[in-house]
Chains A and B, each alone.
Chain A
Amino acid sequence: MADPRPVPFRGGGFRPVQKRGVGLLVFILLIAIVEWGTRAGWISSLTLPRPSDVARTLIDLWQSGLLFQHVLPSLSRLAVGSAMGVTAGIGIGVLIGLFSLARAGLVPLVAALFPIPKIALLPLFVIWFGIDEGSKYALIALGTFTPTVVATFGAVDNVDRTLIRMGQSFGLPWLSIVTKIVLPGALPGILSGMRISLSIGIILLVAAEMLGAQYGIGAYILEAGSLYDLERLFAGVVILSALGVVLSWAISRIEARMLRWRS
């Protein structure tokens, strides 16, 4: 008789669990390494600025009030542009999801628009909408529109058809089926599409501001870059990263609130 042995364990894994603070730790570790390297001299000041100097630049920006002069215009451009793009995207996406004619007519158009690098169109937008805010809104709107459309009609397609049949079998009017069954069912997909759209919005915001703006985070970074002022360049980059993190956190909050019905 052979010896009894425990059955080897081979399950587990493949299931994300929440680990608090690990993300923050990675950030702190990276910054500490750079700080150490720049102080010890094995990272030259031409390669990377010292993180503490970047922090001081940010504090100066804050104290001089310049921070808000740059951040507020950027935020309003992002808000207006992406509100236009996301609203239009959800509207068109729902139309494509609901009507075969809209699908046949618009899906090829969206497929044609999607891969265009929107930044390449900026000169055209400047002619159409003017050098001021108009062209920036248009660029951000177009950039957030296409991913929102694709995410939305995919989400509408994935709504459980038996729920729609159920609505019909109880004689619900068409509009109620759309607003009470289709839209709430598509909401998870629409929200995850918005994550992508808003990140693209930030990228386009900076690109537009680099090409012609007096104030804005993009303008600030461009000016710092042309002077080879690494501290200010990185201060601008930090602001952008922070913006990305805040937006992503905001969407997570919305998801947690509106999608409480999912386990």
Chain B
Amino acid sequence: MAKILLINPTVREEDVPRHVPYGIALLAAIAMEKGHLVQVYDENAWRQGDETTKAVCVADDWDIIGYGGITTTYASVKRIARIAREYAPQAVQVMGGGLLTSLPREMMSWIPQVDVGCVGEGFITFPEICDMVDRGGREFWDIKGTVSRKPGGGLIMSQMRPLMHDLDSLPFPAWELFPLEEVYFKNSQVLFSEEGMLASRRLDINTSYGCSLICRFCYHLGIAGDMRYEEDENGDLNVAFDQPGTYTRSIRYHSPEYVGALVKHAYDKFNINFIGFLDENLMTMDKFSGRTWMNDICNQWHDLGFAPKANDDGTWTGIHWAGTSHATLCTKEVLKTMREAGCSHLVYGYESFAPHVLKTIGKGATRESNLRSFFWTLEAGIRPVPNQIIGFPNEDFDSIRMNMHAWDDLGIQVKPHFATPYPGSEWFTTYRERISGQYDGDMERFILDLGDASSISAVISHNFNAVELLGLREAMLQLNYRRIDEYEQIWRKNHQIPDGAPSTLLSENMTGAFLRDADKVKSAIKDSERQDAVAETTGAASTH
């Protein structure tokens, strides 16, 4: 058996750690089930600094050190890899997660200490890597779903790992290997609803994989059927994700019985009082199952006695829960059923209330379906959490004002995110050159710059630059229509757009279908850059 150290890298340092890394907790459980010796160091939870990471690396003779996570763990992962190579040189370093999966070749070159990368789902690939290391083998290219180093230099991507379909055969996550009492339960609170605010022992569960929508800023970690392999111009394999006209998805979910048993396990073992569903979009599963899945999960909640019952003093017994919904896929009936089983709040990625913006983002929602679901959710007694984004490719002054009016009318208090092209998303592929141009051609700097989408990184708006978006967001928050009107006049003058004409640098035939055509967008960006270059040399005003 192999001696395995799994390290959860640090993420979102500006906030306290709130989520046990579900993927790593599952991989730890799988490796233990296979008979390996496993330890977890949750660097994100402990936040103890490099000295402790070094001590962990020398605490035993590790055969494998594994780490990975979402894109924004990059800086932490790079640091861990360096420490691990220095303090545990004998260990095979395995990296996985959305970070590696979106850019496997780049990651292997930026982090030379990684011996093997797990591309996409790790449920089968990771234990196969562990077995190979245990047997003394290092021919990782024989294992599907890996990227590894050729003995003579260069990288090999093995065949793509098919997704696992029998999800219920997975063990429950090894929550016990994480500091629940010391760290996570103290940070249980979720300020999205009264019940979330009072949560004191929360655990998260991920009960499905996939989302049927194609939001162009979204990335599904290569575990939602969103990943394909393609040969590049040199004949080398590489990953490919959503592209205009090419969208692939695989919708997979645990049975309601597995979900019930998982929650019961969490309750019996850890006495939880709140569950956060991490699922990308619960409503995709509900629709896909013929409207039975959510209903059956709610029945599990009732049957197991977890549906909350209010006490006279305002507290309750049972387990409240929350998750992610979708404006067009939810129904009035399912929302009511969910509330009766204890659902307290649902996150909606409304993103925008401007029809011309909604048409281009791939959300499958309209202003009307946004409004309808908003009221249905409130009527059901669930708090909708209405997420908003600005800085979309065709964002303009009209869309900005439409959003402000909607917030004003609906009582929405929100600080919108900025449309951010995380690697793996369609807009990362479409705007790749433009993104790298904003970082002097250094894509690694872009990755290091990524954090919450509430701070600005690469801009993909055709109309506004970073400074403008920051200023506009500030004025939006204050519902300061006057300042926005005034700035529009300056903007129009700078761009020679007359009053009355649409407030956009995109012509009428450059919205809708145009923005869904990557080649056209790329050539328009080139054109506008050429014009900018001319403008700069002639001294004319230019924003980009």
- Do A and B share a complex? no
Interface residues of A (CB under 8 A from B): none
